Amino acid sequence: MEVTFEKMNSKMATAILDWKYEEAYEFYNNEQTVEALKELLDGSYYAIINKNKEIIGFFCTGESARVPIGNKFDVYEEDLIDMGVGMHPNHVGQGNGFEFCTCIIKFIEVNYPSKSLRLTVATFNERAIHLYKKLCFVKESEFSNGVTKFLTMVRK
C-alpha cells in the first residue's frame, strides 16, 4: 500500500468529520463541531493519503487515542504509545485493514522507538479486534462508559 502521512490540517479534518459509517459502525461517526475540529488539529493526528492524493484514513497518538473514561479504571497507567486509527468508510470491510494498520505501526515505531503500542477498541467491533489480533495485539483490560464496552490491546 503506497501511502504518505501528513500532519492534519483544517481541510483534511473537515472532510474526515463528514465521514459516515454503515449501520452497526455509526458509533464512529462524527459531527462538524468546533470541539471535534479542535481535537483533530491538536497536533497528534495525521491524515493518510493514497497515491491518488485521497484521504483514506487517519491516525493519532497519545491522549487523543484514549477513551477518557478509561483513566478512571487505570487502563492507561503503563507508559506505552497509544494509537487510534480510522479508515475512510469506503475502504472498510474490504480486506485492506492489515496493510493499512501495518503502515501506521511502522510509522509510529520509527518515530517512537523502544515503546510498545496500545490501542482501545469498542468490544462490539469484532472486525477490528480480529484485525488487531492478526497484528499481534493482545487483550489487556476491559472497561465501560456505561453504554459501550471497550478493551485495550497491547503489542509488545
pTM: predicted TM-score of the whole model, two decimal places: 0.93
- pLDDT tier for residue 58 given thresholds of 50, 70 and 90: very high
For residue 52, give Cα distances in angstroms to 1, 42, 117.
12, 26, 29
Mean pLDDT of 24-34: 91
How many Cα atoms occupy the beta-carbon half-sphere of 45 within 13 Å?
A: 22
Mean pLDDT of 45-63: 96
| Grid coordinates belonging to 6 | 501528513
Say which CATH topology domain 3-155 has: Aminopeptidase (3.40.630)
Distance between CA 96 and CA 115 in Å, rounded?
25
- pLDDT tier for residue 24 given thresholds of 50, 70 and 90: confident
- Tens digit of pLDDT for each residue in 91-137? 998 999 999 999 999 999 999 887 899 999 999 999 999 999 999 99
- pLDDT of res. 113: 84
Q: Residue 116: what residue type?
A: S
pLDDT over 70 for what percent of the chain? Answer: 100
Closest CA relative to residue 51, chosen from 97, 13, 107, 1: 1
Q: How many residues can be counted in the chain?
A: 156
Distance between CA 75 and CA 34 in Å, rounded?
28
Contact by Cβ (8 Å): 55, 16? yes
